[in-house]
Amino acid sequence: MKRETPWTAEEVAELTRRWGAGQSVRTIRKAMGRSAGSITGKAARIGLEARPSPIAFVPRMRAGACPFPTIRDGTPVACGKPLAWAGDYCPEHHVAAYCRSESRAET
The length of the chain in residues reads 107
pLDDT at 83: 85
Instruction: List per-block mean pLDDT (blocks of 10 residues) for the chain, which spans 107 residues.
Output: 79 96 92 93 92 64 81 82 82 84 55
Residue 61 CB neighbours (<10 A): 13
* Predicted TM-score (pTM) of this structure: 0.51
* Contact criterion met (CB below 8 Å) for 25 and 39: yes
> β-strands 75-78, 69-72: how paired?
antiparallel
Which strand (E) or helix (H) includes residue 71?
strand 69-72
pLDDT at 107: 46
